């Protein structure tokens, strides 16, 4: 599809299914995975379903015509004998065989949720047999603390981690789900699956790379967006701004950090030659928050304040990430355009909670980071995180790496077997991500390249300016990444760019018309050639922005 072309979904044909949508039909040859035992199977026809996900990690591709869909809903409950678990796999199958495109789509989750039903609706609407797993605990839509907290399952008792449940979430349930759901699909249609794809963002992105690393035989194509790889490191470093707040004895109000972020965007917006409220040349942005100390900002109407040196130091830490005493980086920070205090759907990493007058503020860390520290590192759900100082922070970081690297990190760079099996990966990361550090994804890409220098043959990385965690922001979103992946896997057409389109309803300009821009495969960037900045034809993938030459991360 050419950049900027209108995106359309063709109507699916109608016909008859190859099997009946009943539990008995699947019990004749129960779907299973090695080491598992099926406990129960439910199956029912669903007609006129019209509930689609609105949370970012569950979109397999956009846009999708959100019309009522008919499908066979198959739910398989299974256990690993002797391990006292119960795991659910959900498979949604286009009800009529003629509506099935012959492909299978595994769908990831977000946070502590391994999957979410809304994504399956989008997959079915696109013609896929779609499936996900709950990995043994709740989906989206169940008690909300199960998405941002593992409290209901992480500990068998204070001090004792439920390692088996964590392994299910980390990797084992992904392989199980793939075997079980594919078997269900083949049974229903009495046909083999032509191609299997994975799509996910955040936790779903981590799951996709986990599958490429551990189970290279399962999927021919994987989309991994803003992946939560480097889990054992980034989840701890997400907390670091609150360590700095404790040290400085200052907890900035949300409006102060927002004022600093606004100043950073204004300073770096036009480094790419285009003024659009997006920092596309984010590695060229050297903005220092100390430069705006004393600058006035309005917290609320009539409430004018001045930016403090403490807030500037805290914002800088949000951008640099933790530093050792000698200034050596511990891990990465966020880009300057990232909403440090978060957006409506997410907390940010420099978030505080204040009274109605934006005073008397207190630390308000990102819940999953706080949960990881309490449940898995300290193993004490009642621990007061305000006690964490610099020394304890570094101890917790070592503990996280030592105890959980082999289970949760999902950052093994050796994808040799996946490559040899013919698999393809599209990894993309929004540069305005407020939760997961984009340079962590680049770090992974570069390490994979060290193992397989011919990386472009099977793995492409795309940096997406202006897009926040999974979805949102003023940048152009890779709406048709799944289409590009399918074209690569099935037709051998490797994408040198993804078609990007802004989504006004998730931006700061909800009434604007969509704008189009190519999202270029790293290390290329979308350089402005001239003309209408809302049209993709005004940009080209190049080595640098405008008059900037050489690599895009060099002045």
Q: Is 405 a catalytic residue?
A: no
Q: Where are the alpha helices (DSSP H) in 168-320?
A: 173-189, 203-214, 231-237, 240-248, 254-268, 309-320
CB of 109 within 8 A of CB of 200?
yes
* Average pLDDT for runs of 10 along the chain of length 555: 29 48 95 95 95 56 73 97 96 96 95 83 92 85 70 94 98 98 97 96 96 98 96 98 98 97 98 96 96 96 95 98 92 97 86 95 96 97 96 98 96 98 98 97 98 98 96 92 96 97 91 96 96 96 71 35
Residue 327 has what pLDDT?
87
Three-state secondary structure call for residue 310:
helix
Q: Is 202 a catalytic residue?
A: yes
| Given the residues 202, 224, 369, 507, the one annotated as active site | 202
| Given the residues 117, 137, 469, 552, the one annotated as active site | 469
How far apart (Å, rounded) are the C-alpha atoms in residues 158 and 311?
Answer: 36
Residue 553 has what pLDDT?
39
How would you write 469-511 as a 3-class SS string? CCCCCCCCEECCHHHHHHHHHHHCCCCCEEEEECCHHHCCCCC
CB of 38 within 8 A of CB of 76?
yes
| Given the residues 132, 272, 364, 433, the one annotated as active site | 433
Residue 1 has what pLDDT?
29
CB of 92 within 8 A of CB of 191?
no
What domains can be seen in the chain, in order of their start residue?
1-191 (no CATH), 194-230+409-507 (3.40.50.1820), 240-364 (no CATH)
Residue 64 has what pLDDT?
63
How far apart (Å, rounded) are the C-alpha atoms in residues 373 and 355?
Answer: 26
Instruction: Tell me the angle at which helices 240-248 and 390-408 cross, rounded to the nearest 10 degrees.
Output: 170
How far apart (Å, rounded) are the C-alpha atoms in residues 515 and 400?
Answer: 42
Assigned token pair, 134: 């709950």
Measuring CA to CA, how many Å separate 7 from each of 2, 57, 63, 356, 478? 10, 21, 7, 44, 12
Residue 548 has what pLDDT?
40
Residue 54 has what pLDDT?
53
Q: Is 194 a catalytic residue?
A: no
Residue 52 has what pLDDT?
78
Measuring CA to CA, how many Å separate 494 from each of 63, 455, 484? 22, 12, 8
Residue 12 has what pLDDT?
33
Residue 445 has what pLDDT?
98
Q: Which of 91, 14, 74, 72 is nearest to 40 (CA)?
A: 74
């Amino acid at each position: 599809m050419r950049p900027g072309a209108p995106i359309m979904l063709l109507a699916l044909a109608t016909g008859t299914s190859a099997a009946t949508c009943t539990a008995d039909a699947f019990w004749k040859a129960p779907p299973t995975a090695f080491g598992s035992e099926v406990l129960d199977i439910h199956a029912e026809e669903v007609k006129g379903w019209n509930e689609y996900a609105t949370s970012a990690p569950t979109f397999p591709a956009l846009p999708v015509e959100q019309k009522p869909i008919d499908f066979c809903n198959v739910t398989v409950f299974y256990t690993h004998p002797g391990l006292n678990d119960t795991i659910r796999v959900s498979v949604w199958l286009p009800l009529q065989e003629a509506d099935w495109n012959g492909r299978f789509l595994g769908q990831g989750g977000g946070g502590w949720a391994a999957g979410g039903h809304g994504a399956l609706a989008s997959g079915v609407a696109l013609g896929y047999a779609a499936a996900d797993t709950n990995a043994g605990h709740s989906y989206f839509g169940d008690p909300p603390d199960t998405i941002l907290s593992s409290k209901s399952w992480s500990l068998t008792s204070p001090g004792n981690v439920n390692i088996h449940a964590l392994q299910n979430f980390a990797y084992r349930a992904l392989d199980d789900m793939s075997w079980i759901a594919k078997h269900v699909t083949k049974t229903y249609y009495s046909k083999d699956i032509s191609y299997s794809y994975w799509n996910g963002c955040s936790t779903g992105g981590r799951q996709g790379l986990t599958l490429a690393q551990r189970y290279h035989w399962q999927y021919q194509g994987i989309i991994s967006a803003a992946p939560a790889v480097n889990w054992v490191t980034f989840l701890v470093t997400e907390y670091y701004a609150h360590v700095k707040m404790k040290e400085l004895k200052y907890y900035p109000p949300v409006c102060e950090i927002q004022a600093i972020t606004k100043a950073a965007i204004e300073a770096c917006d036009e480094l790419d030659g285009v003024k659009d409220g997006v920092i596309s040349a984010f590695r060229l942005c050297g903005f220092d928050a100390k430069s705006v100390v004393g600058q006035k900002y309005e917290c609320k109407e009539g409430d004018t304040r001045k930016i403090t040196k403490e807030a500037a130091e805290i914002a800088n830490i949000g951008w640099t990430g933790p530093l050792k005493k000698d200034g050596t980086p511990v891990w990465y920070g966020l880009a300057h355009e990232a909403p440090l205090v978060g957006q409506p759907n997410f907390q940010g990493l420099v978030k505080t909670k204040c009274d109605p007058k934006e005073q008397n503020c207190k630390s308000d860390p990102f819940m999953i980071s706080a949960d990881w520290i309490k449940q898995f590192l300290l193993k004490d759900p009642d621990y007061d995180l305000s006690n964490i100082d610099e020394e304890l922070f570094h101890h917790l970081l070592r503990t996280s790496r030592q105890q959980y690297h082999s289970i949760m990190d999902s950052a093994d760079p050796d994808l040799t077997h996946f490559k040899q099996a013919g698999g393809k990966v599209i990894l993309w990361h929004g540069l305005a991500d407020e939760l997961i550090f984009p340079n962590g994804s680049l770090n992974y890409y570069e390490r994979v390249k060290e193992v397989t220098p011919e990386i472009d043959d099977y793995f492409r990385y795309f940096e997406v300016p202006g897009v926040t965690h999974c979805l949102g922001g003023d940048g152009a979103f890779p709406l048709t990444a799944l289409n590009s992946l399918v074209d690569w896997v099935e037709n051998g057409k490797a994408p040198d760019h993804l078609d990007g389109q802004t989504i006004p309803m998730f931006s700061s300009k909800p009434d604007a018309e969509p704008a189009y821009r190519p999202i270029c495969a790293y290390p290329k960037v979308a350089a402005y050639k001239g003309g209408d900045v809302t049209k993709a034809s005004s940009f080209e993938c190049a080595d640098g922005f405008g008059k900037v030459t050489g690599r895009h991360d060099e002045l």
